[in-house]
């Protein structure tokens, strides 16, 4: 393993510490587990777009004639 340093907000650090205590793990183990799950999930842009399609039903898109092309 290699040592890596990261900056966390106080709130995030507290939540990780709480999770570590609850699971009986070190903070490093909790962070490694989270990173492992994050990188194991492939990024699927099409799936993300499909999941959000139509989520803003009343959006008003201005005409292209209104765009400033100057």
pLDDT in tens, 30-66: 999 999 998 998 888 888 888 887 777 787 777 777 7
In the prediction, which pLDDT does 70 show?
Answer: 65
Structure confidence at residue 9 as a pLDDT band (50, 70, 90) = very high
Domain ranges of the chain: 10-65
Of 42, 38, 19, residue with least CA distance to 29: 19
CA distance 14 to 10: 6
36 by DSSP, 3-state: which? helix
pTM of the model: 0.60
Token pair for 3? 């040592």
Is residue 2 pLDDT above 90, yes or no?
A: yes
């Amino acid at each position: 393993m290699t040592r890596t340093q990261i900056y966390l907000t106080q709130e995030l650090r507290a939540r990780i510490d709480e999770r570590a205590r609850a699971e009986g793990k070190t903070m490093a183990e909790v962070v490694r587990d989270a990173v492992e799950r994050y990188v194991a999930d492939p990024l699927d842009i099409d799936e993300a777009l499909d999941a959000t399609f139509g989520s803003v039903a009343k959006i008003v898109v201005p005409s292209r004639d209104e765009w400033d092309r100057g």
